């Protein structure tokens, strides 16, 4: 049985926390508690836009310590893939955030008795699920701005995208019971968009790789040279983080992974034949537009 060290302070703080969570929770975050255990909370976070984590789902369990709020809560990340898809999220559940005392920090970055559970959750969403997670690894920030750093970041983002689709496939098959309803609603709203976005990025990368087999380019220069023409031709924006053009190995693996993902969604009635037809139609329309305008072909061969 959970017994706080200072019951009066603990329950007073928890009441404030709950009010804060009800009124100030940002979009893309769900928090659920338990009537008989005021120290336990389950959290689901949707990956932020304009990052390789976009439309992904990430789960965390929190337990408030007996000394709360003098001591930070304990956080456990629930992994759905092998290895790490972020330097700060470990397969064994460890979460590296300065507010939790699991990462170095100073000033407002470290926990005080005035810190809140909401601050920790927002930190995970905003400081961990970022556009270039490669540089979250200790010591890697010094590579920023270098050619090697850009390529390493791009390769890491390839890994993130692959592991995210693999994770989502497992999540939809074995969803955490506490968020099952929210998870299925998320897939109904976002699965089509996610698959369409990834398929489009694959087409762009494969076309570039086929026409430039011996001419590698950096993601930054690719966006500068071809981004506007490609976006106009197929009405989609290139990712703002390093990824495109993706490697051939990534394209092959992601295509296979997406097949499994779509099959699972279809088997559960989330992605029906009508939706899949819409996806195919988008790609065919893109091809027709490119043939008429020649924008992508001209841009990637310049």
> Which residues are catalytic, by number?
96
Within 13 Å of residue 34, how many CA atoms lie on the same side as its CB? Answer: 14
Q: Give all strands (DSSP E) within the chain, no chain letters.
A: 29-34, 37-46, 57-63, 74-78
Token pair in block for residue 197? 């976005």
Token pair in block for residue 101? 């005392």
Q: What is the DSSP letter of 85?
A: S
Q: Are 77 and 71 in contact (CB under 8 A)?
A: no
d(CA 262, CA 277): 12
Nearest to 85 by CA among 157, 168, 169, 25: 157
């Amino acid at each position: 049985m959970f017994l706080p060290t200072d019951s009066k302070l603990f329950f007073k703080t928890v009441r404030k926390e709950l009010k804060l969570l009800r009124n100030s929770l940002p979009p893309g975050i769900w928090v659920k508690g338990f009537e008989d255990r005021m120290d336990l909370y389950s959290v689901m976070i949707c990956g932020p836009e304009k990052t390789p984590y976009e439309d992904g789902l990430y789960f965390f369990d929190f337990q408030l310590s007996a000394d709360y709020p003098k001591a930070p809560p304990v956080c456990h990340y629930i992994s759905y893939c092998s290895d790490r898809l972020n330097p700060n999220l470990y397969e064994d559940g460890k979460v590296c955030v300065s507010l939790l005392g699991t990462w170095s920090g100073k000033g407002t970055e470290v926990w005080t008795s005035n810190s809140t559970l909401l601050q920790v959750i927002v930190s995970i969403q905003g400081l961990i699920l970022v556009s270039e997670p490669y540089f979250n690894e200790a010591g890697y920030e010094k590579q920023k701005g270098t050619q090697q750093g850009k390529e390493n970041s791009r390769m890491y983002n390839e890994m993130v995208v692959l592991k995210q689709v693999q994770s989502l496939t497992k999540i939809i098959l074995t969803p955490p019971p506490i968020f099952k309803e929210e998870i299925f609603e998320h897939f109904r709203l976002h699965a089509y968009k996610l698959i369409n976005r990834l398929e489009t990025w694959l087409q762009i990368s494969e076309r570039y790789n086929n026409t430039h087999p011996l001419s590698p380019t950096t993601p930054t220069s690719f966006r500068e040279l071809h981004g506007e023409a490609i976006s106009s031709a197929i009405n989609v924006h290139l990712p703002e983080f390093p990824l495109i053009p993706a490697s051939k190995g990534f394209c092959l693996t992601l295509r296979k992974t997406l097949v499994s993902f779509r099959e699972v969604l279809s088997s559960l009635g989330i992605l029906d034949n009508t939706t899949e037809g819409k996806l195919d139609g988008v790609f065919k329309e893109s091809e027709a537009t490119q043939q008429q305008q020649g924008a992508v072909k001209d841009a990637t061969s310049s």
